[in-house]
Amino acid sequence: MSLSAGAPSHPPFTYSTSTPHVSTAATHGQAFPLPRYLEYSALRDLLHPDDTPAVTPAAVRSTAAASLSRVQSHAPVRPIPIPYPYLRSSLTPVDSESEGNTPSPSPPPRRGTSVPVTIAPAPSTSGLRIPTRWGEQSKSSQLTLSADGCELTFCGASLADRDTAASARTACPIPRACGIYYFEVEILERGAKGKSVSIGFSTEKLRMSRMPGWEPYSWAYYGDDGRVYSGQKEAYTFVEEFQSGDVIGCGIDFSQNRAFYTKNGTFLGMFFEGLPADDLYPAIGLRHPHESIRVNFGSVPFHYAIADHARTQRDTIWEHIMHGPAEDEAGDRESGVEGAATRATLQRLVMSYLSHHGYVSTLRNFRTQCADESSRHSVDERGPDPTDPESPDFQRRVAILHAVREGNIDVALDGLRAYYPHALGAQSGLLLFRLRCRKFVELVLKASEALRRVKDVEKAQGGSGAASEAVMASDEDVYATGKGEDADGEGAMDTAKAALHLTLSYGQELEAEYKTDARPEIRVHLRRTFGMVAYDDPEHEDGEMGAMAGQEARVELTGEVNQAILESQGRPVHSSLETLFRQTGACVVQLGVLGVGAAAYADVRQEFLET
């Protein structure tokens, strides 16, 4: 798959904006929001405003390059301290009966749904800064800078020499991980010559006494003659003039290594070919007294529909990745043997995934389909087939996982003790502890349901509610009388009393067993678990309590049990398919921080899991 070709030379020219422009940006002291168009970058989780401590793109690229060098030399690798947004999937096993009926999420996590993080988050100092203000130390002394770092005003004497100017650039460079970076500059109503302004970008080599665009390693659009310049005084091409009151947008598309400009929300075209791999900074140049500009780096809505622009480019890049020829694709077409081998590998990946997560019905059907093809021999037959849904081990594991999903914790514990005793010792006994706490939660839910039945009977009989209050106040050693008829008020009350007594007894036993365990995670989880008794209907509560009582908590615990079983058998905790997916995501991140702009639009998580 290629990330370097296939993108169009320019996006559609039909963008428009109906959002009114707001000229007052958020002050520098306020939180700077991530501009919406950057949400289309696959590396959006790495991007931070430049007022947040972070590493520069060059530093991240250097670290990534060093890491790759160590990999190539087979030396020990120290993990790069950056977050991998692709490594967040926690997929949960199901069995054939619950596969289509259990109200738990399917393996691809839903958009906006939090999922367990399987990799520890990176330190807060990691990431890539995006420019949000002009630099205090990277501007001409003839320019004054507003408190929020967005407004520049020329305060020196008029510069008659065409070669001299007062320039400024941002405090930090633009990360190529943005894919596309965009900002807008408003030419304020200041002075009769307010249009002698150049807007563009440069490397850090730009001298602050020269206009961007005329200096080497700089590119800019000039208002006085309406031309764009690329590091020399000979114009690159004519566009159109701009003057006081106009809003000029400048964008850099790192997926094409080109730039584009807009004027008052209208796309003007793509400019410059083959921008260098150097760090680039937004830059501005002024030449006459009272000239003043204000930049919008994304703290307020843009005139131009840049989010649509970024989405279109992302879709174009992804379309090319999906349909562009891979390097070895031609060979597969020429050789039927190689094609069959590739197909067999894909089949094994799918079967491994279905087996890993216990999709029994789908696995049986898929294996039957594969058995009809000549690639069946490609399944590893050197030992028991781990993807065989009829194998005793598979059946036992799925039965245990199904029990956890259904809240039958005793059944799950019996199965674990009988077949996977080492799994219960996972995480220094934390798995066993969490299962026992889950049993208490299930008892609370049953007691709450029994109490609701008492209230329903009272309501049907026109009672006052005294009976249900008596149940809650009772501490007698009362068990179900055997009448077993919930419609009868006395039978419902006895059932509720028995359920409540069983819950409290088990809670006391649980507290006594872990009373001397001082581990913080034990104490915190016990407190949260026992806090559930304060709620009449915890399953329908909002916030943390509702989450702990609901099906999602069962699903999460099921995943932990599955992982513990697999680890106890020395098997991978992730299926081969998931491992490949995670590796692909990590490679995309590495490509992004190494400066491959198109990697920002190879969002495998978005394309495969969230659409």
Cα dihedral 186, 188, 189, 195 in deg (nearest 10): -70
Instruction: Please count the other Cβ atoms lying within 10 Å of the Cβ belonging to residue 107.
Output: 16
Residue 259 host element (H or E)? strand 258-263
Q: Residue 373: which of 397, 343, 346 has the closest Cα?
A: 343
Q: At what angle do helices 520-530 and 489-513 cross, to 10 degrees?
A: 170
pLDDT tens-digit series, residues 441-474: 999 999 988 888 888 777 777 655 554 555 444 5
Among 83-92, 272-281, 326-335, which is the least confidently predicted range? 83-92
Which band of pLDDT confidence, cut at 50, 70 and 90, is reported for residue 406? very high
Q: Of 264-273, 447-456, 535-544, which one has max mean pLDDT?
A: 264-273
Over pLDDT 90: what percentage of the chain?
A: 38
> Starting from the edge strand earliest in sequence, which strands make up the sheet with 180-187, in order?
143-145, 151-154, 292-296, 180-187, 247-253, 258-263, 266-271
pTM of the model: 0.66
Computed over every residue of the chain, the mean pLDDT equals 76
pLDDT tens-digit series, residues 40-91: 999 998 898 876 444 444 554 454 444 444 333 333 333 333 333 434 444 4
Q: So where are the chain's domains?
A: 128-308, 329-378, 392-568
Written as six digits, the tokens of 3 are 């990330």
Q: What is the mean pLDDT of residues 365-370?
A: 82
**Rounded to whole angstroms, how far apart are CA atoms 429 and 424?**
6
**Rounded to whole angstroms, how far apart are CA atoms 567 and 420?**
10
Written as six digits, the tokens of 505 are 């007894």
| Fold assignment, 128-308 | Jelly Rolls (2.60.120)
Q: Residue 566: which of 70, 92, 54 has the closest Cα?
A: 92
Q: Is 200 helix (H, G, I), strand (E, B) or coil?
A: strand
Written as six digits, the tokens of 236 are 């690159």
What confidence score (pLDDT) does residue 80 get?
34
Q: How far, CA to CA in Å, does 347 sit from each of 328, 343, 375, 583?
A: 19, 6, 9, 19
Three-state SS for 95-129 is CCCCCCCCCCCCCCCCCCCCCCCCCCCCCCCCCEE
pLDDT for 257 beyond 60:
yes
Written as six digits, the tokens of 6 are 């296939």
51 against 303, higher pLDDT: 303
